């Protein structure tokens, strides 16, 4: 396709170039095997789709019947709630753990490391089973001085339901991963930023919240998007708690009643795919937004706008600097505020 | 110079200051005095301890031996009775407010505009009202010749412009003392002049300054005192014309023959 474009150039762009060489017009290299493989793959895909559409076991009739079933769409809502709540808690905990790991206090650092070691080192499914047994292990929650009569004693089952156990279970696991993401983000910020803020008399907390974290966000956001997508799918494991009002649990419960598991697996899959697709699109735009400004071109250096400045009067003596119209860098600045 | 008469207390007084990183002794018994309103230039080969000394003054590094005081107040420690106590971070931060620092790599906050960079610390640290901070910030930007750049992000400014914003940011805290750590070393040659001009103006206004620099022309013109350091010790110090024109020490001669 580019051949035709090239052949046109010597004619159009040669005002004085009589000796300009003719553009190369070669026979393109053929890739016969590439075509063969492509045909085979497409054929297999078509075969699979045609076969699947007619195959009895997929139960497309039931798929159509349940895809927009109210119970399923409610379950989808629970899946979203589980994802959002557990991610919010995981991010807050993750930031805390990341800061703890970067602390100079060896005990604080050690505790954070221990937490990460346990929660990253055991499967999330196993952790969720443990959370399901929480009320069995700790039947009452007591507040008071240890080894004395508690001031307040609450039945664990009255305090917390399986939904929140699921949220906590997912959040505590996820926070270990978020901690590492946040830590990488904080470490990516130039040490000079910290020093500059410190030299200005800013406290550690001010330095962190005003200078370091805002810059770390650019590194933190993309992998966090991945974690959200991953979390959406991991919610299917809360059946271990057991909490079964979310997408996978609900579709499985329905399939048990109608003795037809396959179409409901397809229903659940379709919903998961819908959500992950939306999140992937969202993440694409988020990443685009946060990568903006990384490779910002610096303005052409003029070197002419330097004024000789006298601090007592505050007057700028160079006329062209005073006019304020000399510098090309005002253009990109203007764009920044679009 | 007239300012020196205001108070007898030197702005910076170092008495046999030493500092090591592990087994590497970076500062070996440095004794220096900077009086109020004085401009001192620190020169010397890289690795001679100039920057470390500057960072000690601003509590970014801790002194191992000797006494270092700014405006009569001990840096980094508190002396009660015959014991020294390490300062709490909050107290160190309070002392730092009076000391402005300008870095080789500017270290502007890239996610803030020029004006936001300048007003951040006055608002957060000095609890200045936002309107007052903005008014002062605009004034400072005009002083460094960047009145039209208040909404520009650092990435959209040239190196020289960034360093001038950094100077304005340090001045916004109304410091008693300004420290410059090789402020022009990261700049393209044609941008050095604009930063030095701002620094000259600052010196003329009576600011006490310690400048680590390789700009011998600037040192000769602006400095009241020139200190040549090598290998963690003060080799030679005095009037800049004297030290640059008629160096007494062999090491000073060797260094100057390379840079002049």
State residue A316's pLDDT score.
40
Out of A195, A210, A329, the one facing B152 most closely (by C-beta) is: A329
Tell me the DSSP string of A244-276.
--SHHHHHHHHHHHHT-HHHHHHHHHHHHHHHH
Terminus-to-terminus CA distance in chain A, angstroms? 37
Helix (H, G, I), strand (E, B) or coil at B74: strand
Asked whether residue B72 carries a pLDDT value surpassing 60, the answer given is yes
Q: Answer whether A291 touches B (CB < 8 Å).
A: no
Out of A214, A302, A307, the one facing B145 most closely (by C-beta) is: A307
State residue A135's pLDDT score.
87
Q: Answer whether A311 touches B (CB < 8 Å).
A: yes
* Interacting residues of A146 by C-beta distance below 8 A, sequence separation 6+: none
Instruction: Name residues 179-218 of chain A within 8 A of B (Cβ).
Output: 190, 192-193, 195-204, 206, 210-211, 214-215
Least Cα distance to B152 among A296, A310, A210 occurs for A296
| Interface predicted TM-score of the whole assembly (ipTM), two decimals | 0.90
Whether A195 and B103 lie within 8 Å, measured CB to CB: yes
State chain B's mean pLDDT as an integer.
Answer: 91
pLDDT tens, chain A, 338 aa long: 444 444 444 444 555 556 788 888 888 888 889 999 999 999 999 999 999 999 999 999 999 999 999 999 999 999 999 999 999 999 999 999 999 999 889 999 999 999 999 999 999 999 999 999 998 898 888 888 888 888 888 888 888 889 999 999 999 999 999 999 999 999 999 999 999 999 999 999 999 999 998 889 888 988 999 999 999 999 999 999 889 899 999 999 999 999 989 999 999 999 999 999 999 998 888 777 766 555 443 443 333 344 444 344 344 444 444 343 444 444 443 343 43
Whether B121 and A200 lie within 8 Å, measured CB to CB: yes
Query: What does the pLDDT look like over B109-134, one tens digit per residue?
Result: 999 999 999 999 999 999 999 999 99
Query: What does the pLDDT look like over A324-333, one tens digit per residue?
Result: 344 444 444 3
> What are the residue ranges of helices labelled H in chain B?
50-57, 89-96, 114-124, 130-143, 159-171, 189-204, 216-222, 240-245, 250-259
Per-residue pLDDT band at B8 (split at 50, 70, 90): confident
Residue of A nearest to B105 (CA): A192
Strands laid side by side in the B24-34 sheet: B24-34, B12-21, B65-70, B73-74
Is this model's pTM higher than 0.80 or not?
A: no
Terminus-to-terminus CA distance in chain B, angstroms? 28
> Rounded to an integer, what distance in angstroms lies between the CA atom of residue A17 and that of residue B107?
51
State residue A67's pLDDT score.
92
> What are the residue ranges of helices labelled H in chain A?
2-12, 32-54, 60-66, 70-101, 106-121, 124-132, 134-137, 156-159, 162-188, 191-199, 204-206, 213-234, 247-258, 261-291, 319-323, 330-336
Q: Answer whether A316 touches B (CB < 8 Å).
A: yes
How far lies B36's CA from each of B43, B117, B208, in Å? 20, 28, 6
| Number of other residues whose CB lies within 10 A of the CB of residue A52 | 12
Residue A182 C-alpha, separation from nearest chain B C-alpha, in angstroms = 18
Helix (H, G, I), strand (E, B) or coil at B97: coil
The distance from CA B223 to its chain's CA centroid, rounded to whole angstroms, is 13
Q: Give rounded-to-5 percent helix, strand, coil for chain B.
A: 40, 25, 35
Per-residue pLDDT band at B7 (split at 50, 70, 90): low
State residue A16's pLDDT score.
58
Instruction: Name residues 187-216 of chain B within 8 A of A (Cβ).
Output: 188, 190-191, 193-194, 197-198, 201-202, 204-205
């Amino acid at each position: 396709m580019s051949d035709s474009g090239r052949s046109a150039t010597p004619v159009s762009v040669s005002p004085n170039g009589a000796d300009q060489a003719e553009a190369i017009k070669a026979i393109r290299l053929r890739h016969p095997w590439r075509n063969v493989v492509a045909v085979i793959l497409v054929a297999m895909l078509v075969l699979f789709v045609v076969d699947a559409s007619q195959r009895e076991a997929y139960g497309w009739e039931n798929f159509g019947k349940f895809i927009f079933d109210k119970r399923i769409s409610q379950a989808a809502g629970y899946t979203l709630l589980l994802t959002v709540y557990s991610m919010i808690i995981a991010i807050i905990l993750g930031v805390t753990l990341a800061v703890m790991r970067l602390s100079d206090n060896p005990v604080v650092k050690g505790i954070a490391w221990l937490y990460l070691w346990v929660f990253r080192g055991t499967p999330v499914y196993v952790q969720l089973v443990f959370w399901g047994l929480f009320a069995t292990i700790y039947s009452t929650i007591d507040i008071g001085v240890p080894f004395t009569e508690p001031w307040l004693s609450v039945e664990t089952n009255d305090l917390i339901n399986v939904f929140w156990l699921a949220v906590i279970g997912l959040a505590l696991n996820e926070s270990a991963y978020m901690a590492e993401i946040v830590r990488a983000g904080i470490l990516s910020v130039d040490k000079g930023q910290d020093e500059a803020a410190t030299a200005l008399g800013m406290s550690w907390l001010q330095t962190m919240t005003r200078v370091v974290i805002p810059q770390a966000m650019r590194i933190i956001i993309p992998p966090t998007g991945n974690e959200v997508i991953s979390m959406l799918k991991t919610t299917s494991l809360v059946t271990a708690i057991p909490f079964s009002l979310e997408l996978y649990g609900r579709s499985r419960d329905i399939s048990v009643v109608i003795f037809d598991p396959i179409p409901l697996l397809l229903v659940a899959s379709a919903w998961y795919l819908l959500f992950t697709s939306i999140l992937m699109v969202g993440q694409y735009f988020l990443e685009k937004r946060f990568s903006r400004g990384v490779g910002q071109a610096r303005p052409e250096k003029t070197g002419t706008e330097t004024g000789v400045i006298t601090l007592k009067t505050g007057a700028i003596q160079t006329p062209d600097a005073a006019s304020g119209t000399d510098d090309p860098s005002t253009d990109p600045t203007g764009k920044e505020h679009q | 110079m007239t300012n020196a008469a205001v108070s007898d207390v030197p702005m910076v007084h170092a008495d046999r200051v030493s500092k090591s990183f592990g087994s590497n002794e970076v500062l070996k018994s440095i004794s220096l005095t900077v009086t109020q309103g004085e401009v001192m230039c620190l020169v010397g080969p890289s690795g001679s301890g100039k920057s470390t000394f500057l960072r000690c003054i601003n509590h970014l590094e801790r002194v191992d031996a000797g006494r270092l005081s700014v405006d009569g107040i001990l840096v980094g420690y508190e002396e009660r009775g015959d014991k020294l106590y390490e300062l709490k971070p909050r107290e160190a931060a309070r002392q730092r407010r009076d000391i402005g620092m300008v870095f080789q790599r500017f270290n502007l906050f890239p996610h803030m505009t020029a004006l936001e960079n300048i007003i951040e610390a006055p608002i957060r640290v000095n609890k200045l009202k936002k309107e007052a901070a903005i008014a002062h910030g605009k004034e400072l930007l005009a002083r460094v010749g960047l009145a039209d750049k208040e909404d520009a992000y650092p990435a959209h400014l040239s190196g020289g412009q960034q360093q001038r914003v950094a100077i304005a940011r340090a001045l916004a805290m109304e410091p008693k003392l300004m420290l410059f750590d090789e402020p022009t070393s990261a700049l393209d040659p044609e941008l050095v002049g604009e930063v030095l001009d701002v620094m000259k103006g600052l010196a003329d206004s009576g600011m006490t300054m310690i400048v680590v620099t390789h700009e011998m022309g600037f040192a000769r013109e602006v400095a009241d005192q020139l200190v040549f350091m090598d290998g963690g010790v003060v080799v030679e110090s005095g009037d800049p014309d004297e030290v640059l024109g008629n160096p007494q020490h062999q090491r000073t001669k060797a260094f100057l023959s390379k840079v002049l």
